[in-house]
Amino acid sequence: MTGLGDVVARLPPYAAAADLDGRMPEEAIAVLREARLLAPMVAKQHGGPGLDHAGFGEVCEAVGAVCTSLRSLITVQSMVAAAVARWGRPEQRARWLPALAGGGVLAGFCLTEAEAGSDAAAITSSLVRDGGGWRLTGRKRWVTFGRSAGLLLVLARAEQGGTAVLCEAGAGVRRLPREGSLGLRGAMLADLEFDVELPDSAVLGRPGFGLATVAETALSLGRLSVAWGSAGMVRGCLEACAAHVRDRRQFGAALAEHQLVRRLIARMAVSARAARALCREASAARDQGLADAGSLVLVAKYFAARAAAEAGADAVQLHGADGTAAGAYAARMFRDGKIMQLIEGSDQMGELAISARVLGLPAHRRPA
C-alpha cells in the first residue's frame, strides 16, 4: 500500500511515550487519522479506503511492529466497523461507517465482564424494554480505548438472548480507567459502567443473535488483526535483535558470532516467516469467502501470538540489561507479547477451538 511505510515511520517516538506515560498521545492517533488507517476496511462508498483482508493485515502488521497499543486501536475501530457494515441497517451504516473510517469517532468493544469473557454466553449486562426503547445496565471490563471511545458496541442480555447495541458515550456511561497493566499500556484501557436509556435504533443486528453473529463478526476480525499485529511484533523483534547482535561486542567478537545467540536469531526468523504465512492464508480465505476462514484465523492468531511472546522474551534476552530499560522496545514487546496470548481468545481457548475442529467436537460443553 502506497505510503504505509512513511506513515509508520512517524510512529516510534509516540510508541515509547505511550507505554511510559500510560496513555496514547493524540498526535499518534492523528497520524493514523490523517492517513485514513483507523478502520481501513470501511468501503469506499462509506468514505473508507476499502482495503480487503490482505491489505488490512499489512496495516496491522506494519503498525503492530512499532506499537501494539496503537495497532489495537485499529483493531477495535475495525471490529466495530465490521459489525456495523455486516449487520447494521442502512441508516446505521450511513451514520457510523464514515465516522469510524475518518476517525471522527473512536470505537470501543464491550464484551468482557467479571464472570464472562471466553464464556461470552455468561454475560449479565442487561438490556430491558423501557417505554419505546431499551435500558442498558451492567459493567464491562478491560475495554481497549475505553477511556476515550465515543461509540461503544456493547453485548448484553435481552429477553430474546444475547443482543448487541451501539451506545454513544455520555451521560449514563461511567469510565473507570485501568492503569499500570502489564502490557497495552498505551491502549487507554478502562472498565465501563452503563446505566443508560437507548432508542430502538441502537440495536445492531437482531435481538438474540448478538453473540453468534455481531460479536463473532467483530471478534474474528479482531483475531485476524491481533494475528497480523503479532506477526509484525516478531518481525520488529527480529530486526532490532539482528542490528543489536551485529553491533554489540563481547569477548572480542560481535554477539552474532556466538552460536547460542545465532540460535535465537534463527528461531525468530523462522517464526516471523511462519506467522506471516499463516496470516496471509487466513486473510486470503476471508477474502475468498471460504467457510473455514474463521478456523484459519484462529490458527494464525494462536501461532502468531505465541511467536510474539517468545520473540519479545528472546529480544530482552539478547539485549541484556538494555532490553529491560524504561522505554526499551524489547521490554515493551516482551510485555505486550504476553498480552497477545490472552486477548481475543487465550492460547488455551485457541487450543480447544482448533482441536474441536479437527475432532469434529464442540469446543466447550456446559455441565448438564
Binding residues (CB under 8 A) for another protein: these are: 87, 89, 120, 205-206, 209, 211-213, 215-217, 219-220, 289-295, 298, 353, 357, 359-365
Please check whether residue 285 is in contact with residue 293, taking contact to mean a CB–CB distance below 8 angstroms. Answer: yes
CB of 367 to another protein, least distance (A): 12
How many degrees, rounded to 5, is the angle at CA 238 between CA 251 and CA 270?
110
Burial 226-246 (b: 16+ CB within 10 A, else e): bbbbbbbbbbbbbebbeebbe
Based on CB atoms, which residue is closest to another protein, 302 or 334?
302
Q: Which is nearer to another protein, 256 or 363 (CB)?
A: 363
CB nearer to another protein: give 76 or 120. 120
Q: Least separation, in Å, of the C-beta of 100 and another protein? A: 19
Among residues 171 and 359, whose Cβ is nearest to another protein?
359
List the beta strands (DSSP E) in the chain. Answer: 107-110, 126-130, 133-143, 151-158, 161-168, 173-177, 190-198, 203-204, 249-250, 253-254
Q: Please, which residue, 88 or 312, has the CB nearer to another protein?
A: 88
Give Cβ neighbours of residue 94 (< 8 Å, ≥ 6 apart): 46
Phi, psi of 116 (to 5 degrees): -145, 130
Give CA–CA dist 238/122, Å, rounded.
40
CB of 211 to another protein, least distance (A): 6
CB closer to another protein, 68 vs 217: 217
Closest approach of another protein to the CB of residue 209, in Å: 4
Provide, rounded to whole angstroms, the least separation between the CB of residue 218 and another protein.
11
> Which among 231, 269, 183, 220 has a CA at the least distance from the CA of 59?
231
Q: Which of residues 89 and 262 has its CB atom nearest to another protein in the complex?
A: 89
Which one, 103 or 162, has the nearer CB to another protein? 162
Q: Minimum distance from CB of 294 to another protein (Å)? A: 5
Which value, to the nearest 10 degrees, does the dihedral of the CA atoms of residues 55, 61, 67, 72 take?
60
Least Å distance between CB 164 and another protein?
11
Query: To the nearest whole angstrom, how small is the minimum distance from the Cβ of residue 307 to another protein?
Result: 22
C-alpha to C-alpha distance for 198 and 122, rounded to whole angstroms? 22
Burial of 21 (C-beta count, 10 Å sphere; 0-12/13-18/19+): exposed
CA 266 to chain CA centroid, Å, is 27
204 or 245: CB nearest another protein: 204
- State how far the Cα of 232 lies from the Cα of 276, in Å rounded to an integer: 8
Q: Which of 190, 204, 236 is nearest to 79 (CA)?
A: 204
How far is the C-alpha of 36 from the C-alpha of 277, rounded, in Å? Answer: 26
What crossing angle do the helices spanning 68-87 and 329-340 adopt, rounded to 10°?
40
User: Would you say 101 and 38 are in contact if contact means Cβ atoms under 8 Å apart?
Assistant: yes
Distance in Å, CB of 136 to another protein, minimum = 20
